A and B are shown apart, each in its own frame.
Chain A
Protein backbone atom coordinates (compact mmCIF):
# COMPACT_ATOMS: atom_id res chain seq x y z
CA UNK A 1 0.00 0.00 0.00
CA UNK A 2 1.19 3.48 -0.72
CA UNK A 3 -0.85 5.25 1.94
CA UNK A 4 0.18 5.44 5.55
CA UNK A 5 -2.79 4.51 7.68
CA UNK A 6 -3.61 6.22 10.93
CA UNK A 7 -3.42 3.28 13.27
CA UNK A 8 -5.04 3.34 16.61
CA UNK A 9 -8.72 4.08 16.10
CA UNK A 10 -10.68 1.61 18.18
CA UNK A 11 -14.30 0.78 17.32
CA UNK A 12 -16.51 0.04 20.31
CA UNK A 13 -19.92 -1.57 20.24
CA UNK A 14 -21.62 -0.90 23.56
CA UNK A 15 -24.65 -3.05 24.35
CA UNK A 16 -25.99 -3.10 20.81
CA UNK A 17 -29.49 -4.42 20.19
CA UNK A 18 -31.01 -4.47 16.74
CA UNK A 19 -34.49 -5.54 15.74
CA UNK A 20 -36.26 -5.66 12.39
CA UNK A 21 -39.90 -5.41 13.36
CA UNK A 22 -40.51 -8.08 15.98
CA UNK A 23 -37.40 -9.99 15.03
CA UNK A 24 -34.41 -9.19 17.20
CA UNK A 25 -31.21 -9.95 15.29
CA UNK A 26 -28.61 -8.59 17.73
CA UNK A 27 -28.71 -9.04 21.49
CA UNK A 28 -26.64 -6.83 23.79
CA UNK A 29 -23.41 -6.98 21.78
CA UNK A 30 -20.39 -5.62 23.62
CA UNK A 31 -17.22 -5.61 21.56
CA UNK A 32 -14.10 -3.54 21.09
CA UNK A 33 -12.21 -3.82 17.81
CA UNK A 34 -8.78 -2.57 18.86
CA UNK A 35 -7.04 0.17 16.90
CA UNK A 36 -4.45 -1.03 14.42
CA UNK A 37 -5.65 -4.62 14.69
CA UNK A 38 -7.80 -6.92 12.60
CA UNK A 39 -10.96 -8.32 14.15
CA UNK A 40 -12.63 -11.12 12.25
CA UNK A 41 -16.31 -11.81 12.87
CA UNK A 42 -17.39 -15.36 12.07
CA UNK A 43 -20.54 -17.35 12.55
CA UNK A 44 -23.27 -19.18 10.69
CA UNK A 45 -25.45 -17.44 8.09
CA UNK A 46 -28.11 -15.30 9.70
CA UNK A 47 -26.19 -14.91 12.94
CA UNK A 48 -26.16 -11.09 12.66
CA UNK A 49 -22.53 -10.60 11.56
CA UNK A 50 -23.29 -8.23 8.69
CA UNK A 51 -25.90 -6.35 10.69
CA UNK A 52 -23.36 -5.75 13.45
CA UNK A 53 -20.81 -4.51 10.92
CA UNK A 54 -23.38 -2.20 9.31
CA UNK A 55 -24.11 -0.70 12.71
CA UNK A 56 -20.50 0.53 12.78
CA UNK A 57 -21.17 3.14 10.07
CA UNK A 58 -24.88 3.41 10.78
CA UNK A 59 -26.09 1.77 7.59
CA UNK A 60 -28.18 -0.01 10.20
CA UNK A 61 -29.31 2.06 13.15
CA UNK A 62 -29.08 0.06 16.38
CA UNK A 63 -32.30 -0.26 18.35
CA UNK A 64 -30.28 0.28 21.50
CA UNK A 65 -26.68 0.85 22.51
CA UNK A 66 -23.86 3.02 21.20
CA UNK A 67 -21.15 2.68 18.57
CA UNK A 68 -17.97 4.70 19.04
CA UNK A 69 -15.40 5.36 16.36
CA UNK A 70 -12.45 6.35 18.49
CA UNK A 71 -14.00 8.78 20.94
CA UNK A 72 -16.82 9.84 18.65
CA UNK A 73 -20.24 8.20 19.01
CA UNK A 74 -21.79 7.84 15.56
CA UNK A 75 -25.04 6.77 17.18
CA UNK A 76 -25.49 9.92 19.24
CA UNK A 77 -28.37 12.17 18.17
CA UNK A 78 -26.88 15.11 16.35
CA UNK A 79 -23.73 13.23 15.35
CA UNK A 80 -22.39 14.33 11.96
CA UNK A 81 -22.88 10.90 10.45
CA UNK A 82 -21.71 11.81 6.93
CA UNK A 83 -18.42 13.18 8.29
CA UNK A 84 -17.85 10.24 10.64
CA UNK A 85 -18.48 7.85 7.75
CA UNK A 86 -15.46 9.29 5.95
CA UNK A 87 -13.38 7.87 8.82
CA UNK A 88 -14.80 4.39 8.23
CA UNK A 89 -14.33 2.74 4.84
CA UNK A 90 -16.56 -0.14 3.86
CA UNK A 91 -16.24 -2.91 1.30
CA UNK A 92 -19.36 -4.88 0.41
CA UNK A 93 -19.94 -8.45 -0.67
CA UNK A 94 -21.28 -7.39 -4.08
CA UNK A 95 -18.76 -4.56 -4.71
CA UNK A 96 -21.39 -1.93 -5.50
CA UNK A 97 -19.24 0.14 -7.80
CA UNK A 98 -20.95 3.04 -9.56
CA UNK A 99 -21.79 1.52 -12.95
CA UNK A 100 -22.03 4.84 -14.78
CA UNK A 101 -18.45 5.83 -13.97
CA UNK A 102 -15.05 4.56 -15.00
CA UNK A 103 -12.79 2.85 -12.49
CA UNK A 104 -10.85 6.07 -11.99
CA UNK A 105 -13.98 8.16 -11.46
CA UNK A 106 -15.30 5.61 -8.97
CA UNK A 107 -12.21 6.30 -6.87
CA UNK A 108 -12.10 10.09 -7.32
CA UNK A 109 -15.79 10.97 -6.94
CA UNK A 110 -16.13 11.01 -3.15
CA UNK A 111 -12.66 12.46 -2.70
CA UNK A 112 -13.72 15.51 -4.67
CA UNK A 113 -17.32 15.82 -3.51
CA UNK A 114 -16.88 14.91 0.16
CA UNK A 115 -13.27 15.75 1.03
CA UNK A 116 -13.11 18.70 -1.38
CA UNK A 117 -9.89 17.54 -3.01
CA UNK A 118 -8.96 19.05 -6.35
CA UNK A 119 -9.40 16.92 -9.45
CA UNK A 120 -5.62 16.58 -9.88
CA UNK A 121 -5.05 15.55 -6.28
CA UNK A 122 -7.95 13.08 -6.33
CA UNK A 123 -6.64 11.51 -9.54
CA UNK A 124 -3.11 11.26 -8.13
CA UNK A 125 -4.38 9.56 -4.96
CA UNK A 126 -6.74 7.31 -6.92
CA UNK A 127 -3.97 6.17 -9.25
CA UNK A 128 -1.72 5.41 -6.33
CA UNK A 129 -4.39 3.23 -4.68
CA UNK A 130 -5.33 1.54 -7.94
CA UNK A 131 -1.67 0.70 -8.48
CA UNK A 132 -1.42 -0.70 -4.97
CA UNK A 133 -4.30 -3.10 -5.64
CA UNK A 134 -2.80 -4.05 -9.02
CA UNK A 135 -5.25 -2.23 -11.27
CA UNK A 136 -3.23 0.70 -12.58
CA UNK A 137 -3.87 -0.19 -16.20
CA UNK A 138 -7.63 -0.50 -15.90
CA UNK A 139 -8.56 3.01 -14.80
CA UNK A 140 -10.53 3.77 -17.98
CA UNK A 141 -12.63 0.61 -17.83
CA UNK A 142 -16.24 0.49 -16.69
CA UNK A 143 -17.08 -1.79 -13.76
CA UNK A 144 -18.98 -4.16 -16.06
CA UNK A 145 -15.75 -4.76 -17.99
CA UNK A 146 -13.94 -6.09 -14.93
CA UNK A 147 -13.90 -9.47 -13.25
CA UNK A 148 -15.45 -9.79 -9.79
CA UNK A 149 -12.02 -9.82 -8.16
CA UNK A 150 -10.99 -6.68 -9.99
CA UNK A 151 -14.24 -4.94 -9.07
CA UNK A 152 -13.69 -5.78 -5.43
CA UNK A 153 -10.16 -4.40 -5.54
CA UNK A 154 -11.50 -1.19 -7.08
CA UNK A 155 -14.01 -1.03 -4.21
CA UNK A 156 -11.14 -1.37 -1.75
CA UNK A 157 -9.17 1.36 -3.55
CA UNK A 158 -12.28 3.58 -3.52
CA UNK A 159 -12.64 3.19 0.23
CA UNK A 160 -8.92 3.63 0.93
CA UNK A 161 -8.73 6.81 -1.16
CA UNK A 162 -10.81 8.51 1.55
CA UNK A 163 -7.97 7.90 4.05
CA UNK A 164 -10.19 6.02 6.50
CA UNK A 165 -9.04 5.15 9.99
CA UNK A 166 -11.10 1.96 10.02
CA UNK A 167 -12.01 -0.49 7.27
CA UNK A 168 -15.07 -2.70 7.36
CA UNK A 169 -15.21 -5.76 5.10
CA UNK A 170 -18.60 -7.44 4.72
CA UNK A 171 -17.93 -10.91 3.30
CA UNK A 172 -15.71 -9.26 0.71
CA UNK A 173 -14.77 -12.53 -0.98
CA UNK A 174 -18.06 -14.44 -0.74
CA UNK A 175 -19.31 -13.44 -4.18
CA UNK A 176 -16.04 -14.25 -5.93
CA UNK A 177 -14.94 -17.30 -7.85
CA UNK A 178 -12.34 -19.25 -5.86
CA UNK A 179 -9.46 -18.25 -8.14
CA UNK A 180 -10.24 -14.55 -7.63
CA UNK A 181 -10.43 -14.74 -3.84
CA UNK A 182 -6.68 -14.90 -3.44
CA UNK A 183 -6.02 -11.48 -4.98
CA UNK A 184 -8.55 -9.74 -2.74
CA UNK A 185 -7.32 -11.51 0.40
CA UNK A 186 -3.75 -10.49 -0.49
CA UNK A 187 -4.81 -6.83 -0.57
CA UNK A 188 -6.60 -7.22 2.79
CA UNK A 189 -3.60 -9.03 4.26
CA UNK A 190 -1.31 -6.22 3.11
CA UNK A 191 -3.63 -3.65 4.66
CA UNK A 192 -3.72 -5.52 7.97
CA UNK A 193 0.07 -5.73 7.93
CA UNK A 194 0.24 -1.94 7.74
CA UNK A 195 -1.75 -1.50 10.92
CA UNK A 196 -5.16 -0.48 9.60
CA UNK A 197 -7.99 -1.07 12.06
CA UNK A 198 -10.12 -3.66 10.31
CA UNK A 199 -13.34 -5.46 11.12
CA UNK A 200 -13.81 -8.34 8.73
CA UNK A 201 -16.96 -10.41 8.44
CA UNK A 202 -15.74 -13.55 6.74
CA UNK A 203 -16.12 -17.25 6.09
CA UNK A 204 -12.39 -17.50 5.30
CA UNK A 205 -11.20 -19.27 8.45
CA UNK A 206 -7.63 -19.48 7.23
CA UNK A 207 -7.53 -15.72 6.77
CA UNK A 208 -9.00 -15.23 10.26
CA UNK A 209 -6.42 -17.56 11.80
CA UNK A 210 -3.44 -16.05 10.00
CA UNK A 211 -4.27 -12.35 9.91
CA UNK A 212 -6.60 -11.48 12.79
CA UNK A 213 -5.53 -10.43 16.25
CA UNK A 214 -9.06 -11.12 17.50
CA UNK A 215 -11.74 -13.49 16.29
CA UNK A 216 -15.36 -13.09 17.35
CA UNK A 217 -18.08 -15.73 17.12
CA UNK A 218 -21.70 -14.69 16.70
CA UNK A 219 -24.60 -17.09 16.85
CA UNK A 220 -28.29 -16.14 16.70
CA UNK A 221 -27.42 -12.51 17.31
CA UNK A 222 -25.37 -13.20 20.43
CA UNK A 223 -21.64 -12.80 20.85
CA UNK A 224 -20.60 -16.16 22.26
CA UNK A 225 -16.81 -15.99 22.09
CA UNK A 226 -14.06 -13.51 21.42
CA UNK A 227 -10.42 -14.52 21.57
CA UNK A 228 -7.01 -14.48 19.95
CA UNK A 229 -7.10 -16.76 16.88
CA UNK A 230 -4.88 -19.41 18.42
CA UNK A 231 -7.16 -19.78 21.40
CA UNK A 232 -10.29 -19.32 19.28
CA UNK A 233 -9.49 -22.10 16.84
CA UNK A 234 -7.50 -24.47 19.08
CA UNK A 235 -9.35 -24.19 22.37
CA UNK A 236 -12.94 -23.08 21.79
CA UNK A 237 -14.78 -22.62 25.06
CA UNK A 238 -18.36 -23.29 23.99
CA UNK A 239 -19.91 -26.39 22.46
CA UNK A 240 -21.59 -24.19 19.85
CA UNK A 241 -18.27 -22.83 18.55
CA UNK A 242 -16.73 -26.30 18.66
CA UNK A 243 -19.58 -27.63 16.55
CA UNK A 244 -19.37 -24.64 14.16
CA UNK A 245 -15.63 -25.05 13.67
CA UNK A 246 -16.07 -28.76 13.10
CA UNK A 247 -18.40 -27.99 10.22
CA UNK A 248 -16.34 -25.26 8.54
CA UNK A 249 -12.74 -26.43 9.02
Chain B
Protein backbone atom coordinates (compact mmCIF):
# COMPACT_ATOMS: atom_id res chain seq x y z
CA UNK B 1 0.00 0.00 0.00
CA UNK B 2 2.86 2.36 0.77
CA UNK B 3 4.24 1.74 -2.68
CA UNK B 4 0.93 2.66 -4.30
CA UNK B 5 0.59 5.76 -2.11
CA UNK B 6 4.09 6.79 -3.12
CA UNK B 7 3.19 6.45 -6.81
CA UNK B 8 -0.01 8.47 -6.27
CA UNK B 9 1.87 11.19 -4.38
CA UNK B 10 4.48 11.36 -7.09
CA UNK B 11 2.15 11.56 -10.06
CA UNK B 12 -1.39 12.23 -8.88
CA UNK B 13 -1.21 14.54 -5.87
CA UNK B 14 -4.65 16.04 -6.45
CA UNK B 15 -4.32 19.08 -4.16
CA UNK B 16 -1.07 19.95 -5.90
CA UNK B 17 -2.57 19.38 -9.35
CA UNK B 18 -5.58 21.58 -8.59
CA UNK B 19 -3.30 24.12 -6.95
CA UNK B 20 -1.17 24.38 -10.06
CA UNK B 21 -4.04 24.42 -12.55
CA UNK B 22 -4.99 28.12 -12.17
CA UNK B 23 -1.51 29.37 -13.10
CA UNK B 24 -1.23 26.69 -15.80
CA UNK B 25 -4.45 27.92 -17.36
CA UNK B 26 -4.08 31.65 -16.74
CA UNK B 27 -0.42 32.07 -17.57
CA UNK B 28 0.92 28.85 -19.06
CA UNK B 29 -1.81 28.04 -21.56
CA UNK B 30 -1.94 31.62 -22.80
CA UNK B 31 1.83 31.77 -23.27
CA UNK B 32 1.93 28.34 -24.89
CA UNK B 33 -0.73 29.37 -27.42
CA UNK B 34 0.93 32.75 -28.02
CA UNK B 35 4.30 31.11 -28.65
CA UNK B 36 2.66 28.50 -30.88
CA UNK B 37 0.91 31.12 -33.01
CA UNK B 38 4.01 33.34 -33.30
CA UNK B 39 6.26 30.40 -34.18
CA UNK B 40 3.71 29.02 -36.64
CA UNK B 41 3.39 32.36 -38.45
CA UNK B 42 7.18 32.59 -38.74
CA UNK B 43 7.31 28.95 -39.83
CA UNK B 44 4.58 29.46 -42.45
CA UNK B 45 6.31 32.46 -44.03
CA UNK B 46 9.69 30.73 -44.06
CA UNK B 47 8.10 27.47 -45.22
CA UNK B 48 6.40 29.03 -48.26
CA UNK B 49 9.55 30.95 -49.21
CA UNK B 50 11.75 27.85 -48.83
CA UNK B 51 9.29 25.65 -50.75
CA UNK B 52 9.32 28.11 -53.64
CA UNK B 53 13.12 28.07 -53.50
CA UNK B 54 13.23 24.25 -53.40
CA UNK B 55 11.18 24.15 -56.62
CA UNK B 56 13.21 26.84 -58.35
CA UNK B 57 14.86 26.07 -61.68
CA UNK B 58 17.88 28.07 -60.49
CA UNK B 59 20.45 25.99 -58.70
CA UNK B 60 21.80 29.00 -56.82
CA UNK B 61 18.41 29.49 -55.21
CA UNK B 62 17.53 25.82 -54.84
CA UNK B 63 20.72 24.65 -53.13
CA UNK B 64 20.77 27.06 -50.15
CA UNK B 65 17.12 26.24 -49.50
CA UNK B 66 17.89 22.53 -49.61
CA UNK B 67 20.83 22.98 -47.20
CA UNK B 68 18.67 25.00 -44.81
CA UNK B 69 15.98 22.33 -44.76
CA UNK B 70 18.46 19.48 -44.36
CA UNK B 71 20.38 21.18 -41.53
CA UNK B 72 17.38 22.39 -39.51
CA UNK B 73 15.56 19.08 -39.88
CA UNK B 74 18.70 17.15 -39.05
CA UNK B 75 19.52 18.89 -35.76
CA UNK B 76 17.89 18.00 -32.43
CA UNK B 77 15.29 20.64 -31.54
CA UNK B 78 16.91 21.29 -28.19
CA UNK B 79 20.21 22.16 -29.87
CA UNK B 80 18.57 24.48 -32.40
CA UNK B 81 16.64 26.28 -29.68
CA UNK B 82 19.84 26.84 -27.72
CA UNK B 83 21.83 27.94 -30.74
CA UNK B 84 19.19 30.31 -32.08
CA UNK B 85 17.39 31.40 -28.92
CA UNK B 86 20.47 31.97 -26.82
CA UNK B 87 23.04 32.25 -29.59
CA UNK B 88 21.56 35.26 -31.36
CA UNK B 89 21.54 37.59 -28.33
CA UNK B 90 24.99 36.33 -27.31
CA UNK B 91 26.28 37.09 -30.81
CA UNK B 92 24.94 40.61 -30.54
CA UNK B 93 21.98 40.02 -32.88
CA UNK B 94 19.46 41.50 -30.48
CA UNK B 95 16.56 41.98 -32.88
CA UNK B 96 14.06 41.46 -30.08
CA UNK B 97 16.01 43.34 -27.40
CA UNK B 98 15.58 41.50 -24.11
CA UNK B 99 12.22 40.01 -25.13
CA UNK B 100 12.97 36.30 -24.69
CA UNK B 101 9.66 35.44 -26.25
CA UNK B 102 10.75 36.80 -29.59
CA UNK B 103 13.90 34.66 -29.65
CA UNK B 104 11.93 31.62 -28.52
CA UNK B 105 9.31 32.10 -31.23
CA UNK B 106 12.02 32.75 -33.82
CA UNK B 107 13.93 29.62 -32.81
CA UNK B 108 10.87 27.40 -33.12
CA UNK B 109 9.68 29.23 -36.24
CA UNK B 110 13.02 28.76 -38.00
CA UNK B 111 12.95 25.05 -37.21
CA UNK B 112 9.31 24.62 -38.16
CA UNK B 113 9.93 26.53 -41.39
CA UNK B 114 12.19 23.69 -42.51
CA UNK B 115 9.50 21.09 -41.87
CA UNK B 116 6.75 23.22 -43.35
CA UNK B 117 8.86 23.83 -46.45
CA UNK B 118 8.74 20.13 -47.27
CA UNK B 119 4.99 20.02 -46.59
CA UNK B 120 4.40 23.00 -48.86
CA UNK B 121 6.71 21.63 -51.53
CA UNK B 122 4.78 18.37 -51.67
CA UNK B 123 1.51 20.34 -51.83
CA UNK B 124 2.68 22.67 -54.58
CA UNK B 125 4.13 19.81 -56.58
CA UNK B 126 0.86 17.89 -56.26
CA UNK B 127 -0.88 20.52 -58.40
CA UNK B 128 -1.49 18.86 -61.74
CA UNK B 129 0.80 19.91 -64.56
CA UNK B 130 -2.28 20.37 -66.73
CA UNK B 131 -3.72 23.02 -64.40
CA UNK B 132 -0.44 24.91 -64.51
CA UNK B 133 -0.40 24.63 -68.31
CA UNK B 134 -3.99 25.86 -68.50
CA UNK B 135 -2.99 28.94 -66.50
CA UNK B 136 0.09 29.54 -68.66
CA UNK B 137 -1.97 29.10 -71.85
CA UNK B 138 -4.17 31.97 -70.68
CA UNK B 139 -1.12 34.23 -70.60
CA UNK B 140 -0.44 34.12 -66.86
CA UNK B 141 3.27 34.45 -66.15
CA UNK B 142 5.17 31.80 -64.23
CA UNK B 143 5.16 33.95 -61.06
CA UNK B 144 1.45 34.76 -61.29
CA UNK B 145 0.62 31.12 -61.95
CA UNK B 146 2.53 30.26 -58.80
CA UNK B 147 0.83 32.96 -56.73
CA UNK B 148 -2.71 32.66 -58.04
CA UNK B 149 -3.00 28.97 -58.86
CA UNK B 150 -0.28 26.71 -57.46
CA UNK B 151 0.06 28.15 -53.95
CA UNK B 152 -3.69 28.39 -53.18
CA UNK B 153 -4.42 24.89 -54.49
CA UNK B 154 -1.34 23.37 -52.87
CA UNK B 155 -2.04 25.14 -49.58
CA UNK B 156 -5.53 23.64 -49.36
CA UNK B 157 -4.17 20.18 -50.04
CA UNK B 158 -1.62 20.34 -47.22
CA UNK B 159 -3.88 21.90 -44.60
CA UNK B 160 -4.27 18.59 -42.71
CA UNK B 161 -0.50 18.06 -42.70
CA UNK B 162 0.04 21.67 -41.62
CA UNK B 163 -2.38 21.24 -38.76
CA UNK B 164 -0.44 18.16 -37.75
CA UNK B 165 2.70 20.27 -37.78
CA UNK B 166 0.89 22.88 -35.68
CA UNK B 167 0.42 20.19 -33.02
CA UNK B 168 4.17 19.55 -33.09
CA UNK B 169 4.77 23.29 -32.61
CA UNK B 170 2.55 23.24 -29.51
CA UNK B 171 4.72 20.48 -28.11
CA UNK B 172 7.95 22.21 -29.15
CA UNK B 173 7.06 25.24 -27.05
CA UNK B 174 7.86 23.15 -23.98
CA UNK B 175 11.53 23.37 -24.92
CA UNK B 176 11.78 27.14 -24.59
CA UNK B 177 12.11 26.87 -20.82
CA UNK B 178 15.77 26.30 -21.68
CA UNK B 179 16.05 29.97 -22.60
CA UNK B 180 15.19 31.04 -19.07
CA UNK B 181 11.81 32.71 -19.22
CA UNK B 182 10.85 35.41 -16.71
CA UNK B 183 7.80 35.06 -14.48
CA UNK B 184 4.77 35.93 -16.57
CA UNK B 185 6.46 34.57 -19.73
CA UNK B 186 6.44 30.93 -18.67
CA UNK B 187 4.57 28.47 -20.80
CA UNK B 188 2.84 25.37 -19.42
CA UNK B 189 5.88 23.14 -19.11
CA UNK B 190 7.97 25.81 -17.37
CA UNK B 191 5.25 26.47 -14.79
CA UNK B 192 4.75 22.76 -14.16
CA UNK B 193 8.47 22.17 -13.87
CA UNK B 194 8.94 24.99 -11.37
CA UNK B 195 6.07 23.68 -9.29
CA UNK B 196 7.42 20.14 -9.47
CA UNK B 197 10.82 21.27 -8.22
CA UNK B 198 9.30 23.29 -5.40
CA UNK B 199 7.03 20.46 -4.23
CA UNK B 200 9.18 17.41 -4.95
CA UNK B 201 6.37 15.86 -6.95
CA UNK B 202 5.78 15.25 -10.63
CA UNK B 203 2.03 15.89 -10.29
CA UNK B 204 2.19 19.44 -11.75
CA UNK B 205 3.90 17.95 -14.82
CA UNK B 206 1.07 15.43 -15.08
CA UNK B 207 -1.38 18.34 -14.93
CA UNK B 208 0.53 20.09 -17.72
CA UNK B 209 0.55 16.87 -19.69
CA UNK B 210 -3.21 16.58 -19.37
CA UNK B 211 -3.62 20.12 -20.64
CA UNK B 212 -1.36 19.40 -23.62
CA UNK B 213 -3.52 16.36 -24.36
CA UNK B 214 -6.72 18.41 -24.10
CA UNK B 215 -5.36 20.60 -26.90
CA UNK B 216 -3.55 18.08 -29.06
CA UNK B 217 -5.78 14.98 -29.02
CA UNK B 218 -8.95 16.68 -30.37
CA UNK B 219 -6.79 18.48 -32.92
CA UNK B 220 -5.30 15.15 -34.00
CA UNK B 221 -8.78 13.74 -34.58
CA UNK B 222 -9.79 16.86 -36.50
CA UNK B 223 -6.69 16.46 -38.67
CA UNK B 224 -7.41 12.79 -39.31
CA UNK B 225 -11.04 13.49 -40.25
CA UNK B 226 -9.97 16.37 -42.44
CA UNK B 227 -7.33 14.26 -44.12
CA UNK B 228 -9.85 11.48 -44.74
CA UNK B 229 -12.29 13.94 -46.26
CA UNK B 230 -9.59 15.39 -48.53
CA UNK B 231 -8.64 11.90 -49.73
CA UNK B 232 -12.16 10.55 -50.15
CA UNK B 233 -13.79 13.75 -51.40
CA UNK B 234 -16.59 15.78 -49.93
CA UNK B 235 -19.84 14.09 -48.97
CA UNK B 236 -22.41 14.25 -51.75
CA UNK B 237 -24.51 17.42 -51.67
CA UNK B 238 -27.94 17.78 -53.16
CA UNK B 239 -27.65 19.82 -56.34
CA UNK B 240 -30.04 20.36 -59.23
CA UNK B 241 -29.67 17.75 -61.99
CA UNK B 242 -26.45 18.63 -63.77
CA UNK B 243 -27.44 18.52 -67.45
CA UNK B 244 -30.96 19.82 -66.79
CA UNK B 245 -29.51 22.88 -65.13
CA UNK B 246 -27.41 23.70 -68.17
| Residue positions of A touching B, CB distance < 8 A | 57, 59, 82-83, 85-86, 88-90, 92, 94, 96-100, 109-110, 113-115, 134-135, 137-138, 141, 144-147, 149-150, 153, 155, 158-159, 162, 180, 183
Query: Known contacts A94-B130, A96-B134, A98-B131: does B243 contact A149 (CB below 8 Å)?
Result: yes
Q: Are B246 and A135 in contact (CB under 8 A)?
A: yes
Determine if B138 is an interface residue (Cβ-Cβ < 8 Å).
yes
Residues of A close to B138: CB separation below 8 A: 85-86, 89, 109-110, 114, 158-159, 162
Q: Chain A interface: which of B97-105, B145-153, B198-206?
A: B145-153
Residues of A close to B128: CB separation below 8 A: 96
Chain B interface mostly: helix
Chain B residue total in the interface (Cβ 8 A) = 26
Q: Are B239 and A82 in contact (CB under 8 A)?
A: no
The residues in B between 109 and 159 inclusive whose CB is less than 8 angstroms from any CB of A are 128, 130-131, 133-141, 144, 148-149, 152-153, 156
Query: In whole Å, how far is B180's beta carbon from the nearest beta carbon of chain A?
Result: 45
Select which of A82, A109, A144 is within 8 A of B148 by beta carbon. A109
Query: In whole Å, how far is B51's beta carbon from the nearest beta carbon of chain A?
Result: 18
Q: Are A100 and B137 in contact (CB under 8 A)?
A: no
Residues of B close to A113: CB separation below 8 A: 140, 144, 148
Determine if B245 is an interface residue (Cβ-Cβ < 8 Å).
yes
Determine if B242 is an interface residue (Cβ-Cβ < 8 Å).
yes
Give CA–CA (A146, B239) in the complex, Å.
Answer: 10
Closest-by-CB residue of B relative to A109 is B148
Interface contacts beyond A85-B139, A114-B144: sample of 6 additional A-B pairs, CB < 8 Å, sorted by A: A92-B133, A94-B130, A113-B144, A141-B239, A147-B243, A159-B138
Residues of B close to A82: CB separation below 8 A: 136, 139-141
Query: In whole Å, how far is A175's beta carbon from the nearest beta carbon of chain B?
Result: 11
Q: Are A99 and B153 in contact (CB under 8 A)?
A: yes
Q: Are B130 and A100 in contact (CB under 8 A)?
A: no
Q: Output the residue of A86, A96, A137, A149 with the most chain B CB within 10 A.
A: A96
Q: Output the residue of A85, A113, A150, A159 with the most chain B CB within 10 A.
A: A113
| Residue positions of B touching A, CB distance < 8 A | 128, 130-131, 133-141, 144, 148-149, 152-153, 156, 233-234, 237, 239, 242-243, 245-246
Q: Are A146 and B242 in contact (CB under 8 A)?
A: yes
Give 23 A-B contacts (CB < 8 Å), ordered by A residue: A57-B137, A59-B136, A59-B137, A85-B139, A89-B138, A92-B130, A92-B134, A98-B153, A100-B153, A109-B138, A109-B148, A110-B140, A114-B144, A134-B246, A135-B246, A138-B245, A144-B233, A144-B234, A147-B243, A149-B243, A158-B138, A159-B137, A162-B139
Residues of B close to A153: CB separation below 8 A: 246
Q: Are B133 and A100 in contact (CB under 8 A)?
A: no
Query: In whole Å, how far is A91's beta carbon from the nearest beta carbon of chain B?
Result: 9
Residues of B close to A141: CB separation below 8 A: 239
Select which of A94, A114, A135, A145 is within 8 A of B139 by beta carbon. A114
Give CA–CA (A110, B243) in the complex, Å.
Answer: 27
Q: Output the residue of B130, B149, B152, B242 with the most chain A CB within 10 A.
A: B242
Residues of B close to A89: CB separation below 8 A: 137-138
Residues of B close to A57: CB separation below 8 A: 137
Q: Are A98 and B133 in contact (CB under 8 A)?
A: no
Select which of B133, B140, B141, B144 is within 8 A of A59 by beta carbon. B133
Closest 3 CB pairs of A and B: A96-B134, A110-B138, A86-B139
Give CA–CA (A99, B126) in the complex, Å.
Answer: 13
Q: Are B149 and A85 in contact (CB under 8 A)?
A: no
Query: Known contacts A85-B139, A92-B130, A114-B138: does B246 contact A100 (CB below 8 Å)?
Result: no
Closest-by-CB residue of B relative to A158 is B138
Q: Output the residue of B134, B139, B233 with the most chain A CB within 10 A.
A: B139
Give CA–CA (A57, B130) in the complex, Å.
Answer: 14
Query: In whole Å, how far is B152's beta carbon from the nearest beta carbon of chain A?
Result: 5
Query: In whole Å, how far is B1's beta carbon from the nearest beta carbon of chain A?
Result: 63
Give CA–CA (A150, B239) in the complex, Å.
Answer: 14
Query: Known contacts A59-B137, A83-B139: does B246 contact A150 (CB below 8 Å)?
Result: yes
